[in-house]
Chain A
């Protein structure tokens, strides 16, 4: 457990970066510090591993003040991931990952073995081991940055806007990977971001900070969306809060409707419904309008793919999105292997959510 106790950071000249921060960061969970620029979130993070020293107040890790430890020793026991990865350009990927183990005095063989292991665990091919950072994409560099932070298996991981410099598609992948890794590793993660959606997605606990370095609210993502304490937090959470909160709500059992399906190359019978779902080997491909089929048989070019497909285990938000994005108003639901199960209507989802709300 990491505790901030009335921690203040003042710079000479009187500017206050962090003002009386008191916060408990539970072990084995992800705590996200989020806020606009200048709110002191990065300063707070960097005070944990003494990259910045507090002016007043106490920061403890499992009861020991960080100031009682030698700074370099403290840092070797805490994983550190930063925005631009900060890989060492003159060292290969493997050497980069092995940095902390080597600093801790592990022998070369053991450090290399651990580095290879982490390379794989962050989803990178071992072909990359002997490349240099300049030869990697931004997303790959960031994965190496995460592997490097985890290489000596520290219990705590500090991540300072690690995914903000990569494109949105890669960012989503990295976020998903982090959640997967965390489910496995259960590290105490302190994550800084200015992106509230990222905070809500990754955090078990989200601490919203306001300009001037003051803590505005700490809560779980659900509670934050449901009960923002003031206008600042409400504004920072942004619009679409009702929709977004559906990402965190459990999905009641969906009533699935069956569909008349077609296979590729099949000719629909006379009197078919206006839209039919094309399914090939159990997997949904898209919708077709039998009346508009040029040659009479279903071809790939006839498919309407506008509908988003949701998994049966997905959140209400995804089920709703599947229904709303579908040309038929019926969202396609699949099982974990992508096999077609049935369709769902937006009204079904809404009815379920309202019933849920009425009983809770």
Chain B
């Protein structure tokens, strides 16, 4: 096995991770950036430098050329067997890494909620469909409905339209009043307003309906038709793909693995982005959904703080407060409508890995009981998809999953744990 030690390891090569790595490296730290995707950029800049959508993304990617930054894609953290040690699966095998400090920039995933037919091929996540399209998934000429909430809906439509998709409808779950108030509030965030205006103009002609969501997906073997609710009315749309999600969830599993305290479903941090574990920092969506501005600023603060430059970090506090104000407005405007929690029927699957329907969970009194008696959350995704749903729909309290953090091959696990090669 290979073993190496770094002053600072950054987990995640999205906006927060890249900003953190650059800030620390500019301050003289040697940094290793690990990312489990094949290309850097996180979800927002998925596809790497070649697909960088703007100057800001290109500037962020330049961090990877920094002489003091090493970058490993396809690297999956799977265990933290002791203080200052990580076990990682690299494409070539297992590896044990030591660290002095750690910055968690593990981003977010989409929140899913079950509705009849949501397991049919052709039903994707909203950001999920965007991520797939960026990876070359064919969307040209496809009839696509997008359903979800917040600015992501527009961003995904933009990506898909640029690739030749026929986007039929944007279904925003939030009511018009809240969306309009959010839009009006953007005068405090002029850059965001300009982006929104540009985006909207590129999407002219695509219907954007508020108070709208999917009720049911149907089709034989794959998605063919959707039943939707728009503005209180019901209707059907025939389509090839549905991109559908219910907002974003911070990825907290790594933080939980390291024993970091959570707050409101995110990794809790102090003013300097430090978690409850000394020397372990978190930045970006992992410590609260807020978008790319917040992620980059928090990343810089974390990088500077980890590099021992708190004064410089402090200078970024006002900018962070401004970014967090935007995040708060987002959260308020696009909070989920209660009707979305009542879409599933008794036979609608909650756990897709083990095919566990809602009715099987309704007779359980706790997450533990559900796991033991229905196998919910015991499959390959280790409860990452169904856990939050069971929490939202049934009030269960899923705790962090058992190790390893991701399924890892036996040989990788063994090689990462075996004594160091004397060479």
A-B interaction: no
Task: Give me the interface of A with B, judged by CB distance under 8 Å.
Answer: none
